[in-house]
Amino acid sequence: MFLTDKFGRSIHDLRISITDRCNYRCVYCRTGTNGAAYAELPFEDYLRMARILVGLGITKIRLTGGEPLLRKGIVEFVRDLAKLRTLQGQKPEIALTTNGHLLAEIAQPLKDAGLDRVTVSMDAVDPERFARITRVPNGYESVLAGVRASRQAGLDPVKINCVLLRGFNEDQIIPFGMFAREERVVVRFIEFMPLEEDRVWTPEIVVRLDEIVRRMAEYLPLEEMAHERSETARRYRFHDGVGEIGIIAPVSHPFCGHCSRIRITSDGKLRTCLFSAWDHDLHELMRRGATDEKLTEFIVEVVEKKEERHHIGEPGFVPASRTMVHIGG
C-alpha cells in the first residue's frame, strides 16, 4: 500500500524532528527565551514510526529539530534507520538538517552510519552578522568547519539553507553566491514564512525569488536548471558551470500541488502540512498499545486528509498550531 492523499499526491518524504531544543536563537525563529518545549521520545519510538511509514512507501527520511545534533545517540539512530528497506527493497535516503554548530566532529560517524546528505542552515557568511542572527558568539567558524567536514566525509552535495529577511541580510545574496563557488556547496535561499515565535512576518519582509535571481545576476549570470516535480527548490547554475544556487519560494511560487511530505514532531504527532492547524497524536496511540496494523490505519486516514495548500498572505490566514522550531523545519 502506498500513501496518497485525497488530491492524488503520493507521499514519500518523511521529516522527523527528534528534539525541539536548539542551541541557536535565530532572531526570525525564536523569541530569545527557550520557548515552550515539547517532549522528546526515545529513538526506538521514532524508529517504529519510521519502519511503519517506510512500509507505506516513504523513501526519504530527513532528521531535523530544533537542533537534531543536540540528541545523544543520533549516530546509532541513523544506523538503525539505514537498516530499513523501502517497498523497492532499498535503503531509505537519509538526510539531516542542522545548524552545523556541532557537525564537524560527527559528520564522518554519521556518514559511516548511513547518512546520505546534510543541509546546513546559515543566514550570513560574515561572522559578525552570523552572531547577531543566531544570538550565539563565535558560531560561524564552527559551522564552516562542519560544512567542510561534511564535504570531506562525502556527504555530497552539501546544501546550505539561507532565510533572507528584508533590511536584515539581503545584502548577503552575492556573498552567498561567492561562498557556493568557493566552498563547492549548493546554497538555497528560502522565502521567509509566517512560522516564527514572534509573529513579525509581513509580506514586505519576504525577499522573493525574482529579486534574488535579479540580484545574483548582478554578480554573475545564472541559468535555470531542470528540477524534479516534487523538488521544492528552483535550481540555477552560474553560466561558467561553477556553483549552484537554489531558491525555495513557498510564498511567491507555492509548490503545495507537488508536496510529497509528512512530518513527525519530537513528541510524536503526525503533521500533514507545515501550516496545519492541528496535528495527530500517533505516539498516544502507540503508548496505549496499538498494533502496527492499527497505527497503519491511523496514518492512512490522516494522510488522506492532508491540506490542499497553505494560505500565506491571504485574508483570514490562520497561523499554524506550532512555530517552525517546534514542528521541525
Distance CA 103, CA 148 (A): 10
Q: Which grid cell is 166?
A: 528584508
Virtual torsion, Cα 282, 283, 288, 290, nearest 10 deg: 50
Interface residues for ligand SAM in 131-190 (CB under 6 A)? 161, 163, 190
DSSP 131-163: HHHHT-TTHHHHHHHHHHHHHHHT-PSPEEEEE
Interface with ligand SAM (CB under 6 A), residue from 77, 78, 84, 99: 99
What distances in angstroms separate CA 82 from CA 108, 112, 113, 224, 273, one per listed residue? 15, 10, 7, 34, 25
Q: How far apart are CA 115 and CA 110, in angstroms?
A: 5
Beta strands in the chain (DSSP E): 13-17, 60-64, 93-98, 117-121, 159-164, 186-191, 222-225, 233-238, 244-248, 261-264, 269-271, 280-281
Q: How far is the CB of 274 from ligand SAM (least distance, A)?
A: 9
What dihedral do alpha carbons 170, 175, 178, 183 form, nearest 10°? -100
Residue 177 or residue 194: which is nearer to ligand SAM going by CB?
194
Regarding 121 and contact with ligand SAM (CB under 6 A), the answer is yes
Closest CB to ligand SAM: residue number: 329
Residues in CB range of 322: below 8 A, 6 or more apart? 265, 279
Residue 169 CB, nearest approach to ligand SAM (Å) = 11
> Closest distance between ligand SAM and the C-beta of residue 9, in Å?
22
Spatial separation of the C-alpha atoms in residues 96 and 94, rounded to whole Å: 7
For ligand SAM, the closer CB: 68 or 92 = 68
Query: Could you give the C-alpha distances from 16 to 39, 185, 266, 318, 329, in angstroms and in order?
Result: 13, 24, 7, 24, 9
Contact range with ligand SAM by CB under 6 A, out of 92-100, 105-113, 211-219, 223-231: 92-100
| Shortest distance (Å) from residue 312 CB to ligand SAM | 10
Positions 8 through 37 that interact with ligand SAM (CB under 6 A): 22, 29
Contact with ligand SAM (CB under 6 A) among 46, 77, 168, 192: 192
> What nine digits make up the cell of 153?
566525509
> In the complex, what is the shortest distance from the CB of residue 296 to ligand SAM, in angstroms, rounded to a whole number?
28
Q: Output the smallest distance, CB 323 to ligand SAM, in A.
A: 8
Q: Pick the closer one to ligand SAM by CB: 195 or 207.
A: 195
SS3 label, residue 245: strand
Size of interface with ligand SAM, in residues (CB under 6 A)? 19
Q: Give the nearest distance from C-beta 10 to ligand SAM in angstroms.
A: 24
CA distance 246 to 263: 23
Q: In the complex, what is the shortest distance from the CB of residue 168 to ligand SAM, in angstroms, rounded to a whole number?
A: 13
Q: In this complex, which beta carbon is closest to ligand SAM, that of residue 181 or of residue 310? A: 310
Query: CB of residue 263 vs ligand SAM: minimum separation in angstroms?
Result: 12
88/295 Cα distance (integer angstroms):
22
**Piece of the chain touching ligand SAM by CB under 6 A; list 32-40, 49-57, 96-104, 170-178:** 96-104
Q: Which residue has the cell 524534479?
A: 228
260 binds ligand SAM (CB under 6 A): no
Q: Which of residues 60-79 bind ligand SAM (CB under 6 A)?
A: 64-65, 67
- Site for ligand SAM contains 233 (CB under 6 A): no
Nearer to ligand SAM, 242 or 277 (CB): 277
Q: If you ran DSSP here, which 8-state letter would residue 104 be given?
A: H
What is the binding site for ligand SAM (CB under 6 A)?
22, 29, 64-65, 67, 97-99, 121, 161, 163, 190, 192-193, 195-196, 324-325, 329
